[in-house]
């Protein structure tokens, strides 16, 4: 019999052990994400700065965009033995950042970002995220789920996460967003995931969370953006369907793409088959994007992304 608080897990003890092992694997590290004009000596400058403060670099990855003459880098190091307090990092790193015209961001891996999930009626993406969250795969906190329908309340209750219903009426969307914003600020939310939230967010709302709202679109963008992509794909007789996870911008379904995947279909597949196969894609594509965002592996530039290994 399944125990309270563990969904689809036959043994409560094994679930606790699994979560404990994942927790032990979490490293006490810092991550630096950098973008700047490409030039000689950038890797050496960053590495020498970290070495000067006794950093043990665990991972380093870089990318050069030749067309834009842009250098992008992610470097992660062990904080054990690192001699520079992170609260003093900005002041110490500023001379190097200014010299090379760097845009940069520092993150501490041990800190759990606070995630709010927006959802409508479809529950498959929400269910997948909550399972991965409970199993310890997603290193974050989920203090609130917001929905314009009551359909998924049972799922939030199962995982014992607060659920807030907020009606989004056609002529009163601004009022709904004000309530949502109040809740998000109260819960100190760092980023938002739209797990099949079937509403268009206002530009004003999006600007509050620039590159911090992740959406799943049930199509391989840029094909079939907007509403009912499976219906249009079926009408076109496509041989591949896909799903796309991207950051939300003011232009519908046009934000920087984080992850995509596809599934082959044939003339034998009905519209219902496309929808069912697509739902599996949506879950995995969204969960990958969310995990990469949490792990500070995504760097946005020129309306696209680099996802570092």
Catalytic residues: 253
DSSP string, the chain: -PPTT-SS-S-HHHHHHHHHHHHHH---EEEEEEEEE--TTHHHHHHHHHHHTT-EEEEEEEEEETTTTEEEEEEEEE-TT--S-GGGHHHHHHHHHHHTT-EEEEEETTSPPEEEEEE-S--HHHHHHHHHHHTT-S-SEEEEEEESSSTTHHHHHHTT--EEE----TT-HHHHHHHHHHHHHHTT--EEEESS--SPPPHHHHHHTTT-EEEEESS-TTTT-SS-HHHHHHHHT-SEEEEEEEE--SSTT-SPEEEEEEEE--TT--HHHHHHHHHHHHHHHHHHHHHHHHTT-EEEETTEEEE--
DSSP string, 7-28: SS-S-HHHHHHHHHHHHHH---
Structure tokens at 193: 């995931």
Q: Using CB atoms within 10 Å of the CB of residue 124, give its burial: 0 to 12 exposed, 13 to 18 middle, 19+ buried.
A: middle
Give the integer Cα–Cα distance in Å for 218 and 303. 20
């Amino acid at each position: 019999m399944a125990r309270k608080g563990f969904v689809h897990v036959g043994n409560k003890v094994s679930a606790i052990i699994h979560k404990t092992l994942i927790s032990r694997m979490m490293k006490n590290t810092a991550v630096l994400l950098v973008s700047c004009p490409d030039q000689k000596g950038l890797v050496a400058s960053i590495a020498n700065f970290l070495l000067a403060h006794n950093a043990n670099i665990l991972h380093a990855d870089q990318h050069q965009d030749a067309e834009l003459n842009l250098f992008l880098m992610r470097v992660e190091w062990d904080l054990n033995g690192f001699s520079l307090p992170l609260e003093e990092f900005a002041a110490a790193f500023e001379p190097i950042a200014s010299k090379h015209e760097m845009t940069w961001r520092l993150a501490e891996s041990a800190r759990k970002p606070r995630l709010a999930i927006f959802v409508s009626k479809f529950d498959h993406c929400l269910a997948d995220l909550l399972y991965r969250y409970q199993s310890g795969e997603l290193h974050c906190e989920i203090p609130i789920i917001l929905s314009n329908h009551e359909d998924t309340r049972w799922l939030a209750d199962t995982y014992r996460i607060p659920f807030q219903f907020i009606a989004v009426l056609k002529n009163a969307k601004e009022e709904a967003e004000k309530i949502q914003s109040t809740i998000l600020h109260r819960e100190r939310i760092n980023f938002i995931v739209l797990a099949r939230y079937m509403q268009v967010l206002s530009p004003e709302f999006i600007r509050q969370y620039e590159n911090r709202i992740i959406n799943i679109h049930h199509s391989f963008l840029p094909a079939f953006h907007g509403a009912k992509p499976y219906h249009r794909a079926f009408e076109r007789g496509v041989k591949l369907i896909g799903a796309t996870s991207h950051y939300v911008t003011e232009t519908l379904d046009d934000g920087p793409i984080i992850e995509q995947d596809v599934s082959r279909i044939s003339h034998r597949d009905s519209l219902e088959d496309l929808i069912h196969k697509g739902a599996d894609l949506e879950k995995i594509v969204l969960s990958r994007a969310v995990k990469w965002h949490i792990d500070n592996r995504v760097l946005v530039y020129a309306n696209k992304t680099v996802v570092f290994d």
